[in-house]
């Protein structure tokens, strides 16, 4: 096997990359990584493995400062940037070992203290742990999703318990009375500054800018994946109340980058994301929507379920790695999540 380490996805053919990782999952696609690179939001690094000229395994990562023991530490995150998806693709222990060696080389180059393989579903973390040893496993925040096994939107509403059904009806009736307009659009050049401004309110409130999407990001999105992405936006007259980015695949929709103007919270546009999004997905024949890793209580009331996500950590320094494993063990005892 031959290993190549590079800083751009464009060093590899789009078709062979998407064949390896799965062409239908946008967050893993060649176009998505081009979008991230074009936006300048993450400096990406890649490890490619070839056998007889054919791409057989790959991984990608970027440097980020993680907080461990209240100390910010530079680590490589192995995950889909701005996504919640796998970014470590190997089929054999030999491939996995070589990918880890490549990641260790990148750690040295970027002066990272180690790396985290993140956003792994249960079956994915089991597979990787069978291929490579010595990682510390931890549990991340659960992702949320709703399966759309309904004939139409009315059928969905009728599946809710009485309290949730009444709440949904009240929200939708108020929106109709207030003449709140719902718009789905992929004209990112027109609305990128508005979407950025609305999301910034949420980032400021939570003091968390990790997923903050810049205007450069929306421009890159329009260039690379316009046909599979759109904004859902809510307006009162001409006033934009809220927006979110929607990524569409044939059977799945993913919501991210939510933003809302706090001066207009009385219109409850946040809740409309879910109801109007479910209505639209049912019209399209999609079977599942992913909503991310927050606001579990409300999401469960409207029919969402949780999907466990896991991570694997490996520190460059053996003593630091042992300390990390101890920290994870204590965190589990106290039912905290790393």
Query: How many folded domains does the chain comprise?
Result: 2
Q: Judge whether residue 335 has pLDDT over 50.
A: no
The reply to whether 203 falls in a domain is: yes
User: Are 133 and 151 members of one domain?
Assistant: no
CB 80 within 8 A of CB 87: yes
The reply to whether 120 falls in a domain is: yes
- Rounded CA gap, 45 and 3, in Å? 13
Q: Judge whether residue 334 has pLDDT over 50.
A: no
User: Are 183 and 291 members of one domain?
Assistant: yes
The reply to whether 13 falls in a domain is: yes
Share of the chain above pLDDT 70, in %: 93
User: Are 87 and 173 members of one domain?
Assistant: no
Q: 306, 284, 280: which is closest to 295 by C-alpha?
A: 306
Q: Judge whether residue 40 has pLDDT over 90.
A: yes
User: Are 133 and 230 members of one domain?
Assistant: no
Dihedral (Cα; 74, 78, 81, 82), 10-degree rounding: -80
Dihedral (Cα; 83, 230, 225, 203), 10-degree rounding: -40
* Arithmetic mean of pLDDT, 93-120: 95
User: Are 11 and 94 members of one domain?
Assistant: yes
User: Are 80 and 128 members of one domain?
Assistant: yes
User: Are 135 and 155 members of one domain?
Assistant: no
Q: Judge whether residue 15 has pLDDT over 90.
A: yes
- Rounded CA gap, 133 and 140, in Å? 20
pLDDT in tens, 252-307: 999 999 999 999 999 999 999 999 999 999 999 999 999 999 889 999 999 999 99
pLDDT in tens, 150-180: 999 999 999 999 999 999 999 999 999 999 9
User: Are 184 and 101 members of one domain?
Assistant: no
The DSSP bridge pattern shows strands 143-147 and 288-292 to be: antiparallel
The reply to whether 321 falls in a domain is: yes
The reply to whether 338 falls in a domain is: no
pLDDT in tens, 171-230: 999 999 999 999 999 999 999 999 999 999 999 998 989 899 999 999 999 999 999 999
User: Are 297 and 148 members of one domain?
Assistant: yes
3-state secondary structure of 196: helix
Residue 237 DSSP class: T
- Rounded CA gap, 139 and 214, in Å? 29
- Counted residue by residue, the chain has a size of 338
- Rounded CA gap, 185 and 191, in Å? 9
pLDDT value at residue 329: 54
Q: 278, 285, 284: which is closest to 160 by C-alpha?
A: 278
The reply to whether 30 falls in a domain is: yes
Q: What is the 3-state secondary structure (H, E, C) of 3-25?
A: EEEECCHHHCCHHHHHHHHCCCC
Range of the domain at 223: 144-307
User: Are 208 and 324 members of one domain?
Assistant: no
- Rounded CA gap, 55 and 14, in Å? 11
Q: How confident is the model at residue 337 (pLDDT cuts 50, 70, 90)?
A: very low
User: Are 156 and 45 members of one domain?
Assistant: no
Residue 318's domain is classified under what CATH number?
Answer: 3.40.630.30
User: Are 129 and 241 members of one domain?
Assistant: no
């Amino acid at each position: 096997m031959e290993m190549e380490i590079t800083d751009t996805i464009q060093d590899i053919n789009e078709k062979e990359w998407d064949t390896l990782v799965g062409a239908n999952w946008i967050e893993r696609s060649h176009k998505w990584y081009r979008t991230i690179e074009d936006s300048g939001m993450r400096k990406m690094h890649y490890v490619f493995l070839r056998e007889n000229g054919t791409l057989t395994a790959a991984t990608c990562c970027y440097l980020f400062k993680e907080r461990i023991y209240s100390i910010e530490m530079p680590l490589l995150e192995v995950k889909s940037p701005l996504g919640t998806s796998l970014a470590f693709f190997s089929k054999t222990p030999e491939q996995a070992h070589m990918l880890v060696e490549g990641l260790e080389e990148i750690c040295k180059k970027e002066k990272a203290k180690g790396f985290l393989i993140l956003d792994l579903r249960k079956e994915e973390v089991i597979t990787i742990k069978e291929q490579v040893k010595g990682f510390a496993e931890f549990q991340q925040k659960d992702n949320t999703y709703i399966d759309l096994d309904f004939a139409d939107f009315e059928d969905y509403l009728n599946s809710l318990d009485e309290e949730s059904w009444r709440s949904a009806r009240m929200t939708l009736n108020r929106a109709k009375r207030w003449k709140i307009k719902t718009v789905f659009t992929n004209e990112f050049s027109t609305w990128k500054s508005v979407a950025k401004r609305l999301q910034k309110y949420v980032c400021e409130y939570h003091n968390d800018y990790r997923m903050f999407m810049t205007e450069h990001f929306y421009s890159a999105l329009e260039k690379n994946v316009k046909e599979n992405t759109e904004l859902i936006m809510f307006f009162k007259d001409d006033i934009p109340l809220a927006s979110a980015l929607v990524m569409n695949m044939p059977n799945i929709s993913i919501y991210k980058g939510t933003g809302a103007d706090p001066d207009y919270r009385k219109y409850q546009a946040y809740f409309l994301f879910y109801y109007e999004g479910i209505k639209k997905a049912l019209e399209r024949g999609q079977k599942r929507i992913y909503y991310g890793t927050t606001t579990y209580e409300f999401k469960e009331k409207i029919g969402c379920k949780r999907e466990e996500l896991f991570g694997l950590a490996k520190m460059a320094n053996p003593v630091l790695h042992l300390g990390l494993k101890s920290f994870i063990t204590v965190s589990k005892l106290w039912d905290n999540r790393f």
